[in-house]
Structure 1
């Protein structure tokens, strides 16, 4: 059982392995986003643990928007990591990448860091920023259904969303409505305002192996700015073919094919 100051942290987990892959989801995301990766990580010898951050889907969280900053959530992730007795490879997707960075800045001792489809600072997608602004108005009017309807309309601009089956879309709606509105508002605020902390992260990582990886058609943070972030961190930069903002669901086989050999080399360093 994993806990935060607000209650249990919901998670999916595979059997123990040589190391732990701790998987942190993004804004409006959940542990289920990593389901396509779990068996692959397990087969490669990693215990995969995918979590809902506090306030997301099935993890309780506070009604304080400030509690959902990357720094605040990063402290909680760092506390989780401190309780493990095996090497931890921390992977953060999208907003989860900002949280993973916050965990390292909070002193988390990781054996490797993977930043996936995330950026050095604020979100840069105009469409997504518009959705956040419009959704905030609905959320502050206590109209979570209306906020989701706005998100659905914006997502309909993206081919990947249009191609999803209706059952999966129904699940996305269900988890959005189950997420604490303060979580949605808080994360939405920091998606628009999170400062560039790449230089601080570089110092905190020291010689810890790391990688920046993105879908080749990412539509949240641009591929170019993620490549520049990797350059500043002095770490490898990888692209997943046939994927946009969520390689974990759009091309999980290719994502695993790139990450697992790299992580195995990191494991030899521990």
Structure 2
């Protein structure tokens, strides 16, 4: 039996009537971007997990567009300091492609409570939690297509290794192991002692002083600021540590996806500055996975160039679903 899901009337869907995604060649947010406040038809829900309730956005598929067979659901997992709202620009288009959407906050992110111990936020700990959610969806008769962005990709991989019954795995801007040396890893090194000693508000002040959100629409800045404030310190520290210590588990994943015949896609921004594109392409080769690099995107094509990302995701997923239907 699946765990119960609760519609959450107190959690309004993020909507901005005039918002639209804008592509940008560089940066984490396009100029004037309103991506996380992009309008969508998903409803806010609370999903039960082994670590407690998680807030999520759920959208039903357009049945007329379904690929046949059991209903399909894309479960989307955000990255470090992210949230379900990062997938707002994708929700309606995926649903219109005949695939439902469940976009989650991970434990400790934004509106989802989480444990107080940093070690519980490592992918090896969060993977089984996510695997339980996927198992609930499968028990309800849905074929789950699991997508993880950045740190969320490490968690999605751990979920599959923990036995999550998925019909496809997409790793987006996520590498084979720890973050290599570069700007993003250095930022984690710099911000960790600030977070430990002075708290989240000091981190927000530093990010604002650095102009990180200067090209972002004010409503989105408000959201980014608020979700940082509401995320757990243990979660931010634990995920940050994991990003600098995660082992390369690609060999394990290769064995698992081959044994279970799970189709895989590795997709990233053409100018990803976290894990190099060449590293992600090599990981895709090892997985015998499809690979795509999204132009006009760096580390978050879901907000930087969602239209181009959707051109990759929806056709690929629909092909997987058709191939999964017995003839």
Structure 2 unaligned blocks of 5 or more: 6-46, 64-70
Contact 1:79–1:108, Cα closer than 8 Å, also in 2: yes
1:118-171 deviation per Cα after TM superposition (whole angstroms, max 9, x unaligned) = 100111252211221222112211421112233445673xxxx54322321221
- 1:11 and 2:52 are equivalent in the alignment: no
Query: For residues 71-90 of structure 1, what are the structure 2 equivalents within 5 Å?
Result: 71-84=124-137, 85-90=141-146
Counterpart for residue 185 of structure 1: 237
Specify the alignment match of 1:263 in structure 2: 317
2:102 is equivalent to residue 34 of structure 1: no
What are the superposed Cα offsets for residues 5-53 of structure 1, whole Å, 9 maximum, x if unpaired? 3321100010255300000000000000000000001100111110000
**Pair 149,49 (structure 1): closer, same or farther in 2 beyond 3 Å:** same
User: Aligned partners of 1:131, 1:145: CA distance in 2, in Å?
Assistant: 16
Deviates more, 1:13-22 or 1:61-70: 13-22
| Larger gyration radius, structure 1 or structure 2 | 2
Are the equivalent residues in 2 in contact too, given 1:139–1:147 (CA < 8 A)? Answer: yes
* Aligned residue runs from structure 1 range 158-237, under 5 A: 161-206=213-258, 207-237=261-291
1:68 Cα deviation after fit: 0.4
Q: Which has the larger helix fraction?
A: 1
- Asked if the contact 1:240–1:251 (Cα under 8 Å) also holds between the matched residues in 2, the reply is yes
Q: What 5-or-longer segments of structure 1 have no aligned partner?
A: none
Shift of 1:173: 1.1
Instruction: Provide the C-alpha distance between the structure 2 equivalents of 1:140 and 1:264, rounded to a whole number of angstroms.
Output: 45
TM value normalised by structure 1 = 0.94
Deviations along 1:160-206, whole A, 9 cap, x unmatched? x5432232122111101110000000000000000011111101111
**Do the aligned partners of 1:19 and 1:45 also contact (CA within 8 Å) in 2?**
yes
1:139 to 2:195 alignment: yes
- 8 A contact 2:51–2:129 mirrored in 1: no
Do the aligned partners of residues 30 and 46 (structure 1) sit closer, same or farther apart at CA in structure 2, a change above 3 Å counting? same
- CA–CA distance in 1 between the matches of 2:274 and 2:294? 15
State the aligned residue count.
266
- Secondary structure in 2 aligned to 1:113? strand
| 8 A contact 1:26–1:94 mirrored in 2 | yes
Task: Normalising by structure 2, report the TM-score.
Answer: 0.78
Match of 2:175 among 98, 115, 119: 119
The answer to whether the Cα contact below 8 Å between 2:73 and 2:101 also exists between their aligned partners in 1 is yes
